[in-house]
Amino acid sequence: MSRDREKPCSLCEKSAPVLYRIQYDGSGEWIFVCRSCWDQVSQNNPFYIYGGTWKARKR
């Protein structure tokens, strides 16, 4: 039984098999972002907090 799945990025809305759980603004809201968006919002951001990685393939 395959457990492959994808989720959309909260910022660009593209589906991805790996997403990063982050906070990137003062709202304190956790979102999931793709690698491309993660690279953009994590750099020099005082609000940035990493909260783990979501993967499409579960062990």
Quote the radius of gyration of the chain (alpha carbons, Å): 12
How do residues 1-38 score in pLDDT, each as one tens digit? 445 688 999 999 999 999 999 999 999 999 999 999 99
Residue 11, both tokens: 């910022």
- The size of the chain, in residues, is 59
The model's pTM: 0.84
Report the C-alpha gap between 5 and 47 in whole angstroms. Answer: 29
Domain ranges across the chain = 7-55
Amino acid of residue 54: W
In SS3 terms, 9-25 reads as CCCCCCEECEEEEEECC
Residue 42, both tokens: 């994590």
At residue 39 the predicted structure's pLDDT band, cuts being 50, 70 and 90, is very high
